[in-house]
Structures are given as C-alpha cells and as structure tokens.
Chains A and B, each alone.
Chain A
Amino acid sequence: MIELVGVNKTFTTKDLNVEACKDVNLKIEDGDIFGIIGFSGAGKSTLVRCINLLERPTSGKVLIDGVDITQLKEAELRKIRKKIGMIFQHFNLMRSRTVYQNIAYPLKGSKLTKAQIDKKVKDLLELVGLSEKLNAYPSELSGGQKQRVAIARALANDPKVLLCDEATSALDPQTTSSILKLLKEVNQKLGITIVLITHEMAVIKEICNRVAVMELGKVVETGNILDIFSHPKAQMTIDFINSTNPITKIYELIDNGAEIVRLHKGQRLLKLTYGAEETKEALISQLSKKYDVVCNIVFGNVEVIQQAALGSLIVMLEGSEDAMRKAEAELKHYNIEVEVLKCWNN
C-alpha cells in the first residue's frame, strides 16, 4: 500500500515559490489501478515523482507498506526504487542499447545468472508482445513499441508498483488503447499496483478503479471511479467528465434554438441521468404505458465503467401537466436524476 500523508512540494526559484503539491493525502491500495487526473501544471507529475522520491517532498510522509521512505538512507531508497517500476511520456529508452539490453539494464548487479536474465528478458518481451524485436534499437521502433519496451524494462525487477507518468500522452488513440490494455493485463496477471497520471478522462475511464482529481497542486476529489462518474462533486471533476461526454452538447443546442429541441404545446425537455442499478429496468416504456405520456428520446450516451453502465438521456415528454408530473416523480423514485432543461410556454 502506498500512502501519502500531508505531502507538500514547493519549488523555490529566485523570484517566486511554486507550490506544486499542497497537503496531498492519498491512499493507494494493493492491486489498484489508481488514476491521477489534472490539467498540465496541476502538479500531478510532481506528485507521482514524490512516490519514488525522484522529487523529495518539502514536507509530509510517503509510506510504502508502512515504511516512511523519506527517512531512508540513499542505499535503502535505491532498493525500494527497484521495486517501483516507472514509465514515462517520452519512454526514456537508452538509444545505444538494443531492446534486449534495455530490458536487461535494471537486472545488472542483481543476483540473477546470465541464463536467468536471458529467460527473464525473453519472458518480458513475450508479455509485451515484442519477441521479434529483440535486437532492434529504440530508433527502429514506433512510439507504441517503445512504450512496450519501457513497460518490460519497468517490470524487470518484479516490482509491486508501476508508476506511469503520462505514459500514453505521446501516442495516438489506437496505440493508447493497446497500451492501456497491456497495463490492465499487467495489473491483473501480475497483481501489480498501477498509479497513472493523465490529463485525459478517457484514459481514467478505460482502466482505473480509483481516481484522484488534482487542481493547482491540491487533490480536490478522490474516490471509486463509478462514484466519481455518477456523482462528481468538485467542479473540476464535472468539467473533466463533461469533456468526454457528448451529452453536454444539449446546452449548446438549446442556446442556439436548434430544431431538434424546439418544443410544441404540452412538451418538455428532460435530462435523465442514471446509474448502474436502474439500467436494468424498462423504465421509458413503462412510463408511456402507466401515465399516458409520449416519451421521445432525443439523444443519449451510455458509458461503460468497470462493467457498469452509466447513462444520460435527453428525453422529450409529451402529455398533460399532471401526467408529466407523475412521470417525473416515478423516475425520481427509481433514483434517476431528472433535470428539466426546457418547458413549453406560450
């Protein structure tokens, strides 16, 4: 388990102090895929570097399995670092070494024999799907392949934790998703805790089970990813979620008075947001039958997060005032968030 307790990091230059991390408290459980999201400059890169002390916190504790590593001597810290793998946005492979030599790099000075190292490197290459690139140099690889080599290198010492510093930010969407798949595999097959930082909510959505949202050096919200997506609290979180959700386009359409949201007599426009449990019920068709309202789905979006569906629908209701009120009450009864976007008025 990784625990950050009251971590502060201030960079001091001649004219100003930059507080990159302010009183950060985080708990990362074994086996988590923990995402830290924030815009550039939010301090997430600094924070992830505080976990292996590439950046030393100005104050606060960094506990790894209960040991405060800020108190360790250099040699002891280096031992701990060998058990914390790290990958980077720009891969940071050694240009003068082949793929094989890059992966074997961290194994030099370990107790393994040459034959054991050879087996280890080849196993890792197989895991990341690059067995045929054994003798290639990094300059001969694509971005995605470089990151795979970097992942193999980071896993060479059988770490318990893998830190990912914007590991997919320099990659195209398809490569990103293949790397994320690999990371998930690493997490599940090898039981490695993953801490990843990113500025893309899509990345978080794809593989994380827990997330921390950072803004200006502070963690503004932490939690289970499903909770965060279904009930975000901090404005920053809401903004991040909206950045990946097409449903927010409705506000633009309403502002512009678009045809599809133009209402006639007895109509109103609703936004329904529902979580995992409610999606199993056939609510919309029930409403029409029970209350004599016409339900027209204008558009919708369903996110699948950790095998649960989170949906939002833009719905046009038509019927008598009374029927619509009852229908709305019924929806709320099923724990569906109802937001009236627009009502018909003369």
Chain B
Amino acid sequence: MLEQLIPNVMVKIPKLIQSILETFQMMGWSGSISFVLGLFFGVVLIVTRKEGIMECHPVYWVLDKIINILRSIPFIILVPATLFLSRAIMGTGIGVKGAIIPLIIGTVPFFSRQIELALAEVDGGLIEAAQAMGDSPLQIIFRVYLKESIPAIVRATTITFISLIGLTAMAGVVGAGGLGDFAIRYGHQRSEPDVIWVTILIILILVTIAQAIGDVIIKKTTH
C-alpha cells in the first residue's frame, strides 16, 4: 500500500534513513556544543549585567552587542559567511562537518538570550539570601541561578532545539545533507511531492518528541 501512497519515498528508503542520520548528527553536535556555550554566555550575561553578582559593564556590553549582531544575520547568509571559519576549524566547508560551525553560530546567540531571560526570572531575594549565607558567586551560579531555574532552562532548550531543527534543514545548502536537503533535492527539484510530505511528517514527529520530553522534565522539576 505504501508503494502506491508514497512511491518516490519507497524507492529511496536508504537515502531517507541516511538523511535522518545526518540530521541527527548535525543536531547532536551543534546542539550539545551550543547548549554548553549558550548556558555559559547566558550566565555571563546575567552575572555581569547591572546589579549582577559580578557586575562588569564592559563584558556585558561587548557580549550583548555581539549577540545582537549575530542574531540579526539570516541563517542562509550566515552559512556562506562563516565558510572560512568552517574550513579553518573543521577542515572542510561542506557536508555535516561543514555545517556544524554555522549551526553553532546561528544557535548560540539565540540560546544565550533565552538563558539570560530564564535566569532573570530567579527572584532577587534568593540571590540575596544565598549571599547572606556566605555563598561565593560561583556557588550562587550553580546552586541558585542554574538549579532554581531548571524548568525555565528546559523550556528555553526545547524552543532552541526546535528552531535548530529548522536550521539544519537550511544547512543543506552547503551539502550537509539531512532531511531538509532530502526534501529540496528530491521533493522540490524532481517534483516528487510525497517526498516533501513524508519529510514534513518526520520533522513533525521529531518536534513533537522534543516538545513532549521538555514538557515532562518541566513538570517533574516544577514545585
């Protein structure tokens, strides 16, 4: 039955699976690196801002501006613009390897902002209480800011993860492969609409799973 419904997909099953794997690879690498970097820069933003626990205006100002600039560049332009970086760091500008740098640069600024917002929700009174108990700034970061805003951080992570799925599809332009590339190459350029629909369905499932996992963690960690 599937042969009749989605004939063009059925003849490309190995290609489809490979595309899914490529998407997973891109998501895995760029996602985890972006998570760490975004968390780091988000924390730096929150502690160095005005009235922050390690207030430092120059650091905040520079970071804030860099994030704004990077966020205003459309991803489709960011990919060729960072080609030189990919070549320098990854040794290649194409394929999954070539897509990771632009994906990170496209994700980290967005995620840092999301983390900054999440941490800003932590009640100032808690920070004050922790200081009064003799906590060091580093202890306050880990034991109050990060621990107390786990639900908000998970929410930010879910949103970012979903937008990252979108970015990986665009990364197809550098020959990174993945589901986006699969849909454009076969579905669009060869006019095989069933390929597009199946790809959409798979991405939809990925997004739903990501959202569901996020929701469960948020529910478990909110008291």
A92 within 8 A of B: yes
Query: How far, in whole Å, are A82 and B126 apart by their CA atoms in the complex?
Result: 16
Tell me, in angstroms, the Cα distance from A137 to B135 when the chains sit together. 22
The secondary-structure label for the interface of chain A is: mixed
Known: A95-B223, A105-B143, A139-B223. A78 touches B126 (CB 8 A): no
B221 lies within 8 A of chain A by Cβ? yes
Report B143-160 CB contacts with A as 1/0, cut-off 8 Å.
110011010000000000
**Residues 86-110 of A contacting B (Cβ, < 8 Å):** 86, 88, 90, 92, 94-97, 105-106, 108-109
Interface centre among B133, B135, B136 (most CB of A within 10 A): B133
Tell me whether B126 and A92 are in contact (CB under 8 A): yes
A94 to B128, alpha carbons, bound, how many Å? 12
Task: Check B148–A82 contact: CB distance below 8 A.
Answer: no
Say whether B14 faces chain A, with CB atoms less than 8 Å apart.
no
> A81 and B143: CB pair below 8 A?
no
The answer, yes or no, to whether A54 is at the interface (CB within 8 Å) is yes
| Given contacts A88-B129, A92-B125, A105-B143, A82 and B223 within 8 Å (CB-CB) | no
**Interface 1/0 per residue, A261-277 and B, CB below 8 Å:** 00000000000000000
**B223 close to A84 (CB less than 8 A):** no
Question: A54 contacts B128, CB within 8 Å?
Answer: yes
Q: How far is the CA of A75 from the CA of B139 in the complex (A)?
A: 13
Chain B residues lying within 8 Å of A189, measured Cβ to Cβ, are none
Q: Judge whether A96 and B129 touch: CB under 8 Å.
A: no
Residue in A closest to B151 when the chains form the complex, CB atoms? A96
The answer to whether the Cβ of B131 comes within 8 Å of any Cβ in the partner chain is yes
> Is B77's beta carbon under 8 Å from chain A?
no
User: B123: which A residues are within 8 A, CB to CB?
Assistant: 92
Q: Contacts A94-B144, A105-B143 given: A81-B129 contact, CB under 8 Å?
A: no
Classify chain B: how many residues form its interface, as a range.
10 to 19
Question: Does A96 contact B221, Cβ atoms closer than 8 Å?
Answer: yes
User: CB < 8 Å: which of A82, A92, A109 contacts B128?
Assistant: A92
* Residue interface mask B112-148, A partner, CB < 8 A = 1: 0000000000010110110111111001000110011
Contacts of A52 in B (CB 8 A): 132
Flag if B134 contacts A96 (CB, 8 Å). Answer: no
In the bound assembly, the distance between CA atoms of A82 and B148 in angstroms comes to 21
Given A81-B133, A137-B223, A139-B223: A88 touches B128 (CB 8 Å cut-off) = yes
Contacting residues, chain A, for B144 (C-beta < 8 A): 94
- Give Cα A96 to B145, complex, Å: 11
Can you list 20 A-B pairs with a CB-CB distance of less than 8 A?
A54-B128, A74-B136, A79-B134, A82-B133, A82-B134, A84-B132, A85-B132, A86-B133, A90-B125, A92-B123, A92-B128, A92-B129, A94-B147, A94-B148, A95-B148, A96-B147, A96-B221, A106-B133, A138-B223, A163-B132
4 further A-B pairs in the complex, CB-CB below 8 A; given A81-B131, A88-B129: A54-B131, A75-B136, A86-B132, A94-B144
The 7 A-B residue pairs with the shortest CB-CB distance, nearest first, are A81-B134, A137-B223, A92-B129, A92-B125, A82-B134, A86-B132, A78-B134
